[in-house]
Structure 1
Amino acid sequence: MSELQKRLRRFDRERGWDGVRPEHTLLHLLEELGEVARELLREVGYKEGEAQLTGELADVGLLLYKLADQLGIDLEAAMLEKLAANEARFPLPESREAMARYLERNDED
């Protein structure tokens, strides 16, 4: 388990928040993800105001790590394993070609 997950577990336990069920953590995570969307719209100028993306993304990350901990998943280890699988699944030449096609299509819009 990562140090971040250990620290989050201690943080919640000290405050009595360790009784929150995983499904409620997921709801909080989705709520925070919506806040990231709103801040991103501010960042690109679609909405008024100064974007606060850093804090909102941190909230999403913390809740994702908390959910993983509640489910008994070492998120850092899982992500490293998934990244290794993705590196094998998406080799460089083919991936670069696919990205070039994507950029060409989006430049046409």
Structure 2
Amino acid sequence: MSRLQKLVRQFDRARGWHEVKPEHTFMHLVEEVGEVARELLSVAGYKDRAENLRSELADLALLLYKLADQLEIDLEAAALEKLAENEKRYPVEYSKLEMERYLKHRDED
């Protein structure tokens, strides 16, 4: 288990927050996704609120680590395994061609 996941576990246990059900943690996580979206829209609108975005992304990450811990998933190990799978699933050359296509269509909008 990653150091960060252990720190989140300790933080929650010290406050009794480890008693929160995973489904409620997930609801909080979804709320944070909305807050990140709002901050991204603010930044895209040329309002300099990058510090808020940084904080909201951190909230999102911490809740994701908490949820993984509640479900007894080593998030770092799972992410590394998924990255290795994605390396096979999305070869570099194919992915670059797909990205070029995406950028062409994006720029046409």
Same fold (TM over 0.5): yes
CA distance in 1, matches of 2:72, 2:55: 26
Equivalent runs, 1:1-109 vs 2, <5 Å:
1-45=1-45, 50-51=49-50, 52-109=52-109
In the alignment, structure 1 segments of 5+ residues that lack a partner are none
Normalised to the residue count of structure 2, the TM-score between the two structures is 0.94
Aligned pairs, number? 108
- 1:36-90 Cα offsets, whole Å, 9 max, x none, are 01101100017x6734100000000000000000000000000000000001111
- Give 2:34's aligned amino acid: G
Output the CA distance in 2 between the equivalents of 1:33 and 1:41. Answer: 12
Aligned letter for 1:63? L
Let me know the Cα RMSD of the aligned residues: 1.3
CA distance in 1, matches of 2:100, 2:7: 42
Percent same amino acid at aligned positions? 65
What is the rounded CA distance, in whole Å, between the counterparts of 1:9 and 1:50 in structure 2? 30
| 1:50 alignment partner AA | R
Give the distance between the partners of 1:16 and 1:105, measured in 2 at CA. Answer: 50
Mapped partners of 2:107, 2:49: distance in 1: 28
Q: Deviations over 1:6-52 (max 9, x none)?
A: 11111111111110000000000001110001101100017x67341
* TM-score, reference length from structure 1: 0.94
